[in-house]
Structure 1
Amino acid sequence: MATVTELLEPVELDLETLLSDLRSLIGAGHPILQAAAEHLFSAGGKRLRPGIVLLISRALSQGGDLSPRHRRLAEITEMIHTASLVHDDVVDEAATRRGVETVHSRFNHRVAVLAGDFLFAQASWHLANLDNLDVVKLLSRVIMDLADGEVKQGLYRYDSGQSFENYLEKSYCKTASLIANSAQAAGVLSNQSEDRLQLLHHFGRQLGLAFQVVDDILDFTGSEKQLGKPAANDLASGYLTAPVLFALQEHPSLAVLIERELTSADDLEQALQLVRGSDAIPRSRELAERFARESREALTWLPDSSYKRALVDLPDFVLGRLC
């Protein structure tokens, strides 16, 4: 199974350029905000989202060349993603991310919120300067979706009656929207037909959903080291994911524990046993496999290249995190 670094190898140099360009794009603003942004971009991370934009852009180009506007789109994608992580960490009160102190841990909550806002504002400014209304609409939608997903997640905490559709909608907003809309935007900048733009969106949507479902499975099966947070953290926080929703169909008694917000001594352990002792994990895995397959199928029309091969391998990489 290839690693992310291996998959993104065809655009490795582009990603290096992207990082140095991001640092200069942030500009000489407020020193603390600049320090916070620097801290974020030097914290590592897979750069998967801008990598996807770069791979699609090169796969669609006649000679595999990359226009300045495609490069800027990849930078904007990473800015939006990073801004959303800062705000997520504040909401979740996470102390570290990728083994590095979160912005609010290193500075404070106020600086973290402002740094996230600063990055969203920077992304919006550079987006407007692309002078392409369709791309502006696509990426502005992402910023709306991210906020919408965060609100939805908060509203449905410990709600055992929520529908599977709600879960998928929230997952799309929080995880898949950025991949889907930035993939489509790369197609817009490459003057692709409407049919192909929809396929690029579908590729990103299904890949993002597969990624989220895999994440949700790992919350029950992964180690703390693998997850970077305590196992069953989502359930303990009242966020009901695919495995929990499937387990609820099999064990209605799980609803009682959830509705009382897992407050009794053994509630969380009991809930974990009900999820792990049901068909919930295999059913969630099947769902992730379906999303991965549909994501792969959406790219059959792309001409063969190292960029296309990397994109087609991405869904398998996402599923490979379960091994």
Structure 2
Amino acid sequence: MSAATIDATSASVIDALGFPKEMAELRERIADWVHRSNRYMQDALDWQFMGGSKYFRPLTIFACYRAMHGPGPIPGHIMNSALVIEFFHNVSLIVDDIVDKSPERRGRATMHTKYGELVALMTSGYIVADGYLELGKDLQAIALFSELLKRLGVAECMQWADRRQVLGVEDWRRIAGEDTGSMFEVCACLGDRSGKLRKFGGLLGLVYHGCDDVGDVRGLPALGGGGKEDLRDGILTLPAAIAIQDPRIGALFTRADPTDADLEQLAAAFMAALPQAERTLDGIVEEAEREARLFAPNPAPLLAIVAQTRRLSSR
């Protein structure tokens, strides 16, 4: 079985960050794991993992390691962490797609659409269990991945409980910080292992989440969740948090059963909020860069991944 496909944009990011060798090894390890998986899970796993990924989470692990330890080979336990973060990230995607009732992700059928919810849910459990086995005796990583699973569960419930409410940008930061932010925060800790880059990772996650929100409004290929589903369900995205401060838009946003005309007005208002959303993201980027320079002996890899992440809202 060959390694996962990778698009030109992802390949350019990997090259820009200086990790083509490491990512090739990671992709081969994923392919080998899928090949060795139980035959009843193999088709679904092949569909989920071999269709490609942006790989920003393992790249964050590698960048944080290099920022703290300098050049040289990526140690085995760090590579294991990068492998398992891809496992857990895909579990979060599978669950999100079921919750959002998303038929497609990045132009392909979602796992539950192609194989059914039973297979998708059982495969998710299989992935998590194998992820912990891959970590072996790395107790620090086991604790971090356990933290991540708990926080992702809380984030999903928080996001659902807070939907269709007139909240602001600080509320968006709180919710996004437990959703995408927790994933990147744990990535930073897995790569660094001292905890010094934890805040940096959280800020990087906010940038990624916000760029996804902006990209959805622009109609760009989704990095994470789906823009149409978020609009339909009243999810607090960054453009929404800005736009709904207008009482008229806020009233539309809180409707339990919005009409197509309501959704069109909301979409237009979110589009109008994009310049302010971009300025907000630039401010978070400055926070992340400050953290990188404060705590990393070699901040260049961190500054590079922030810059590559920030570009996602316009790709």
* TM-score class, shorter: 0.7 to 0.9
CA positional deviation for 1:81: 0.6
Query: Equivalent residues in 2 for 1:115-264 (5 A)?
Result: 115-127=123-135, 129-132=136-139, 134-160=140-166, 162=167, 164-188=169-193, 192=194, 197-198=195-196, 200-220=197-217, 222-223=218-219, 226-227=221-222, 232-249=228-245, 251-264=246-259
**Cα 1:166/1:201, change in 2 over 3 Å:** same
Q: Which runs of 5+ in 1 are unaligned?
A: none
8 Å contact from structure 1 (residues 153, 170) kept in 2: yes
- Tell me how far apart the structure 1 counterparts of residues 143 and 248 of structure 2 sit (CA, whole Å): 45
Query: Equivalent residues in 2 for 1:14-53 (5 A)?
Result: 14-25=22-33, 28-53=36-61
Is 1:273 matched with 2:268? yes
CA positional deviation for 1:316: 2.2
**Cα 1:98/1:122, change in 2 over 3 Å:** same
- 2:77 paired residue number: 69
CA positional deviation for 1:226: 3.4
Give the partner amino acid of 2:274: I
**Cα 1:168/1:62, change in 2 over 3 Å:** closer
CA positional deviation for 1:89: 1.2
**Cα 1:136/1:186, change in 2 over 3 Å:** same
- Tell me how far apart the structure 2 counterparts of residues 97 and 272 of structure 1 sit (CA, whole Å): 20
**Cα 1:83/1:264, change in 2 over 3 Å:** closer
CA positional deviation for 1:26: 5.1
Equivalent pairs: percent with the same residue?
Answer: 23
- Tell me how far apart the structure 2 counterparts of residues 106 and 211 of structure 1 sit (CA, whole Å): 28
Give the partner amino acid of 1:43: G
Is 1:92 matched with 2:100? yes
Any idea what SS the aligned residue of 1:298 has? helix
Give the partner amino acid of 1:112: A
CA positional deviation for 1:108: 0.9
Is 1:319 matched with 2:310? yes
**Cα 1:263/1:3, change in 2 over 3 Å:** closer
8 Å contact from structure 1 (residues 19, 41) kept in 2: no
CA positional deviation for 1:262: 4.9
Aligned pair count? 303
- Tell me how far apart the structure 2 counterparts of residues 312 and 98 of structure 1 sit (CA, whole Å): 27
TM-score normalised per structure 2: 0.86
Is 1:296 matched with 2:289? yes
TM-score normalised per structure 1: 0.84
CA positional deviation for 1:314: 2.1
CA positional deviation for 1:75: 0.7
CA-to-aligned-CA distance 1:12-67 (integer Å, 9 cap, x gap): 12111112222334574432312211222211111111122123224433551221
CA positional deviation for 1:232: 4.7
- 2:278 paired residue number: 285
**Cα 1:112/1:321, change in 2 over 3 Å:** same
- Tell me how far apart the structure 2 counterparts of residues 230 and 205 of structure 1 sit (CA, whole Å): 22
**Cα 1:230/1:59, change in 2 over 3 Å:** closer
Task: Tell me how large the CA RMSD over aligned residues is.
Answer: 2.5
- Tell me how far apart the structure 2 counterparts of residues 230 and 91 of structure 1 sit (CA, whole Å): 12
Q: Which residue, 52, 56, 60 being the options, matches 2:64?
A: 56
Q: Which runs of 5+ in 2 are unaligned?
A: 1-7
Give the partner amino acid of 1:267: D
**Cα 1:152/1:105, change in 2 over 3 Å:** same
Any idea what SS the aligned residue of 1:215 has? helix
**Cα 1:254/1:79, change in 2 over 3 Å:** same
CA positional deviation for 1:299: 2.0
- 2:4 paired residue number: none
- Tell me how far apart the structure 1 counterparts of residues 12 and 302 of structure 2 sit (CA, whole Å): 12
Give the partner amino acid of 1:40: Q
**Cα 1:203/1:96, change in 2 over 3 Å:** same
Q: Which residue, 108, 117, 129 being the options, matches 2:116?
A: 108
